[in-house]
Amino acid sequence: MMILKVISFALVALFLYLLFKDKRGDLAALILLAAGVVIFIYCISQVSEVVNFLKNIADRAGIDTVYIQIVLKILAIAYLASFASEICKDAGAGSLASKVEFSGKMFILVLAIPILMAVLDSILQIL
């Protein structure tokens, strides 16, 4: 299973972090950062299967692919903002982490406007 690879890698990185934490805090932070990036890249490579599945479902259901693309962008922003926020928190920059989270929420709101407009148009057509 793929999660076992991720967990194993994370535990090795954690061991290295704990080994260097007291002696070389700067190196320990870099170990955490590098491990997080490697895990993120590994997980992103698996996302293409989900995207293809969603596109197939949208085609079968007759849903406009523009809306699926918007939803996927929103998911990407949410995951990326969360990942960057956690990295900032690990580095001890909690205030920067909260600003990354806020900006992610704002970008999601901007991307959601076309979907909200489509929902409102559908409601108005029903009425």
Domain boundaries, the chain: 1-45, 64-126
What confidence score (pLDDT) does residue 103 get? 95
What pLDDT was estimated at residue 106? 95
pLDDT at position 124 is: 86
List for the chain the helix, strand, coil content (%; round to 5). 90, 0, 10
At 37 the pLDDT is 87
SS3 state at 64: coil
pLDDT per residue of the chain (127 residues) written in tens, 0 to 9: 788 888 999 999 989 988 998 888 888 888 988 998 898 888 887 788 888 888 888 888 887 788 888 888 998 899 899 988 988 887 788 899 999 999 999 999 999 998 888 888 888 888 7
Q: Which residue has the tokens 């922003």?
A: 77
